[in-house]
Amino acid sequence: MDLGEGLRQAIAKLTRSAVIDAKTIREFNKELQKTLLSADVEVELVLRFTKDIEEKALKVKPPAGVAPTDYITNIVYDELVDLMGPTYQPQLKKQRILMMGLYGSGKTTSTAKLAKFYQDRGLSAAVICCDVTRPAAYEQLETLAKQANVGFFGMKGEGDASRIVKEGMARFRDKQVIICDTSGRNALDGNLIGELKRVAAAFNPDEKVLVISADTGQVAGKQAREFDSAVRISGVVVTKMDGSGKGGGALSAANAAHTKIMFIGVGEKLGNMEPYDADRFIGGLLGIPDIGSLIERVQDAVKEAGLSTEEMQAEELNFETFYTQLKAMNKMGPLKNVFGMMGAPDVPKEIAEKGEEKLKKYKVIIASMTKEERVNEKELRDQGRIRRIAAGSGTTERDVHELISDFSKMKKMFGALKNDRNFKKKFSNMM
């Protein structure tokens, strides 16, 4: 069970209680403690967290008109924000960023992601490869920089990282954001500290960022303190937040080390890097819908897929327009994350995965149709066409029939919603 699921179950159990008294609160706190400890949050932080909840829940009465369970949920929300750290607002200005971290933290990928983040917001960006110890670092960052469409500089075979950064800065005088990727180690040692200090002296960064993997859990605090003591870090980037049950532990540990959380990596794609937003992150843990993120994700997906607004707002649903929308959905990331933004984070993983498999299969099947078949589904009443499409897509005739059946149901629903003025009004207000 991950942190969010445990928190939601504890709150759901609380809401079913007939009376909210000291005993109920203490039982609720035991559930919270068990959940937080299993997510690798430090014991001291867990005890402080639950003590604060108990004091506020029992000593202060809910405001008039607010149900006790809603009031306690709000207390949990506020305490989680305090535990994980405040929202970070990145400065969209000219700057130099030094990336640091141990092996396996996702430092090189985060360097490219961060460059893309700033470039997507109108700042010209470039990356410098100063990792002189890992053999594949040069090729990896060069490839990622091309994918992100940002500048790249490195000197293959050069062992002096400070020389590389000086050459890179001279090359990228015209760039507004320069990000330097540095060497890692299995642990912070004297050699790494010396190298980082030399690179920092030559680079003169505005930000010195430590990259930590979410699966390190509470060890994140120790890493943050050690790096800060050695080279004075500005903050941290926490990676692999999409797959680690210890993500809450990493965030709370870094925050407890008095280090601000700057960005979180929420997926493997280059666009899956976002500034840490306490409200969004905690809201996601508690199952609160994040319509703002959902709309942003849709807009980014449409842009990445190279689609126009007209293509996404089709008046008629046919296989052609459905295929266009599938291409955009494919860019939005795992369905599990999309469900989470819609306020339904507990959709079983196997159902979300089956949904993804089905959508991928449907995309391949539609790609094997002719233009006429996509525009006019009546053409697909011919069994010979079904056979040809199945063979061309590497699927079965049954799969094609299943797509046609599901599509017919969607078309009926699409028609009903299109003619529902009340739904249109609600949707417009929500947007």
346-398 residue pLDDT tens: 545 555 456 667 778 888 888 899 988 888 888 888 888 999 999 999 999 99
Does the pLDDT at position 429 exceed 60?
A: no
Helix (H) or strand (E) holding 265: strand 260-265
What is the arithmetic mean of pLDDT over 207-223?
A: 92
> Which amino acid, one-letter code, is at 364?
V
Q: Rounded to whole angstroms, how far apart are CA atoms 370 and 382?
A: 13
Does the pLDDT at position 214 exceed 50?
A: yes
Closest CA to 150 of 174, 167, 182: 174
DSSP notation for 127-166: EEEE--SSTTHHHHHHHHHHHHT-EEE--TT---HHHHHH
Domain parsing of the chain, residue ranges:
3-84, 95-285, 291-430
Token pair for 266: 């929420």
| CATH code of the region 95-285 | 3.40.50.300
Token pair for 415: 């028609």
* Residue 274, pLDDT score: 92
* Residue 300, pLDDT score: 58
* Residue 404, pLDDT score: 86
- Residue 207 pairs in a beta bridge with 97
Q: Write the CA distances from 331 to 77, 185, 324, 354, integer angstroms.
A: 31, 34, 12, 17
What is the arithmetic mean of pLDDT over 71-100?
A: 91
* Gyration radius from the chain CA atoms: 25
Does residue 300 contact residue 271 with C-beta atoms inside 8 Å?
yes
What is the arithmetic mean of pLDDT over 189-203?
A: 94
CATH topology for 291-430? 434 Repressor (Amino-terminal Domain) (1.10.260)
First to last CA, the chain: 33
Q: Which CATH number fits domain 3-84: 1.10.3720.10, 3.40.640.10, 2.40.50.140, 1.20.120.140?
A: 1.20.120.140
DSSP, res 179: E
- Counting DSSP H helices and E strands in the chain, the numbers are 20, 8
* Residue 295, pLDDT score: 46
* Residue 163, pLDDT score: 96
* Stated pTM of the model: 0.68
